[in-house]
Amino acid sequence: GAVIGILGGGQLGRMLAMAAARLGLEVHVFEPGANPPAAAMAATTVTAPYEDEEALRRFAEGVDVVTYEFENVPTSALDLIETLRPIRPGREALRISQDRLTEKDYLTGLGLNCAPYAAVDDAASLDAALGRIGTPAILKTRRMGYDGKGQARLAHRDDAPAALEAMQGQAAVLEGFVDFSAEISVIGARGADGRVACFDPGENVHRGGILHSTTLPARIPRAVTADAVLIAGRILNALDYVGVLGVELFVTPGGLVVNEIAPRVHNSGHWTQDGCVIDQFEQHIRAVAGWPLGDGTRHSDVEMLNLIGDDVEDVARIVENSHCALHLYGKAESRPGRKMGHVNRILGPAGGAPREPGR
Ligand code: ATP
Ligand code: MG
Ligand code: MG
């Protein structure tokens, strides 16, 4: 079997490593930070900055294929790794998803709908963007944002100076605020043979910019489900993608609007661990190892709840509910906003009526 290298040792890397272990595949992790959650599940962990060429070389030469749980790996590190081993998903998916502006240009170029957007570099370009897009709007840094970090909401044009200030000099993009009825996401997978398999769309609730819950089934008509899956398939094929991709969508009366994509396993796909026979982590490992994709059919209705910060103190109560599958990431300390684990609560066999998602 292939030896898998994972760039990034967070909880996503940990759960990828667990899936690989179940398939009998050896995993090596590269992670700059100390005490990465994935280390416990990996054969070795290289702790070094992405600038350390010697360490990167050692890591890459010990594996057959390199994947990642983190899309913001510096380009220089990827350039070096690419001379040694294949990177899956490929460089194009990383290049596009590292920059919100590039990503939106790419998605609209595929004929998909995004919120109205414009590049913002300074007060003048923000003023011009607001003139075109209006308010309410959201200003987001083009690079490195996650969990709603690096974003500022503008209710009125007067909010422009404060919003610009919040970007701390970084290049940004202004987005029109989408008046959505729901947020959903599709976790799609594409194998090395070009076959595509998508999981059912889940309905997401965010709190303070951080994912709070994902509920299956989403409260959307069948036609919207089909549309969401077709959008994911279109992106996967256009990128000649190998692996799992997360696609976040807004449901609006005018159809689906793509919020963003993530070229990796995704928090809103954690429900698949207990809702499907083959979950997103196994699907990703199968794809990058060149194996056939598994069947991602959903067997259960599920609600995934993130355990953020102090939420993790409720563990004793959670495990008293025998329908709750607990997944903890092995992080030593909880901090506000830090993802400590998640719970998949089984609601019943698939096919039940959609429920109000967990708020
Ligand atoms: P992550 O990568 O962790 O999902 P992020 O920092 O990239 O998060 P976004 O997905 O861009 O952030 O935004 C976080 C949430 O803010 C969205 O899920 C949505 O609830 C809300 N939001 C973002 N952009 C818009 C928009 N244009 N209109 C309405 N709501 C938005
Ligand atoms: Mg994001
Ligand atoms: Mg998001």
Instruction: Give the start-to-end residue ranges of the domains of the chain.
Output: 4-87, 116-176, 182-349
Q: Above 0.90 for ipTM, yes or no? A: yes
Residue with CA nearest ligand 1 atom 26: 177
CATH code, 4-87 = 3.40.50.20
Cα of 248 vs centre of ligand 3, distance in Å, is 6
Q: Which residues of 253-283 are buried (b: 16+ CB within 10 A; e: fewer)?
A: eeebbbbbbbbbbbbbbbbbbbbbebbbbbb
Q: Are strands 172-176 and 243-252 parallel, antiparallel or unpaired?
A: unpaired
pLDDT score recorded for residue 359:
75
Query: Angle between the 75-84 and 53-61 helix axes, to the nearest 10 degrees?
Result: 40
- Write down the pLDDT at residue 203: 98
Mean confidence (pLDDT) of the chain? 96
Single-letter residue type at 165: E
pLDDT for residue 234:
98
What pTM did the predictor assign? Answer: 0.96
Residue 285's pLDDT is: 98
Instruction: Write down the pLDDT at residue 353.
Output: 85
* 151 alpha-carbon distance from chain centroid: 17
Those residues whose C-beta lies under 8 Å from the C-beta of residue 306, and which sit 6 or more positions away, are 210, 211, 212, 213, 267, 339, 341, 342
C-alpha of residue 226 to centroid of ligand 3, in Å: 21
| Ligand 2 ion local residues (Cβ < 5 A) | 260
Q: What share of the chain is helix, strand, coil (3-state, %, to 5)?
A: 35, 30, 40
Mean pLDDT (whole number) for 101-125: 98
- Does residue 1 surpass a pLDDT of 90? no
120 contacts 172 by C-beta, under 8 angstroms: yes
Query: Which tokens hold the place of 191?
Result: 């194998």
pLDDT-based confidence at residue 87 (cuts at 50, 70, 90): very high
Domain 116-176 annotated CATH 3.40.50.2000: no
Nearest ligand 1 atom to alpha carbon 137 = 27
Is 147 labelled as part of a ligand binding site? yes
Give the ligand 1 atom nearest the CA of 260: 10
Both tokens of 347, joined, read 């609601």
Instruction: Taking residues 29-58, report their average pLDDT.
Output: 97
Q: How far is residue 242's CA from residue 119's CA, in Å, rounded to a whole number?
A: 30
214-224 residue pLDDT tens: 999 999 999 99
The domain made up of 182-349 has a fold known as: D-amino Acid Aminotransferase; Chain A, domain 1 (3.30.470)
Q: Which ligand is nearest to the CA of 251?
A: 1
Nearest-atom index, ligand 1, CA of 148: 6
| Residue of 259, 260, 265, 359 best suited for mutating to test ligand 1, as the one with most atoms within 8 Å of CB | 259
pLDDT at position 148 is: 86
How much is the pLDDT for 354?
87
Whether the pLDDT of residue 147 is over 90: the answer is no
Q: Please tell me the predicted confidence (pLDDT) of residue 99.
A: 97
127 vs 130, 136, 137, 184, CA distance in Å? 5, 14, 12, 31
Q: Concatenated DSSP letters for 196-243? A: EEEPPPEEEEEETTEEEEEEES-S--HHHHHHHHHHHHHHHHHTT--E
Instruction: Tell me what pLDDT residue 57 has.
Output: 98
In 142-181, alpha helices (H): 160-166
Q: How confident is the model at residue 146, as a pLDDT?
A: 87
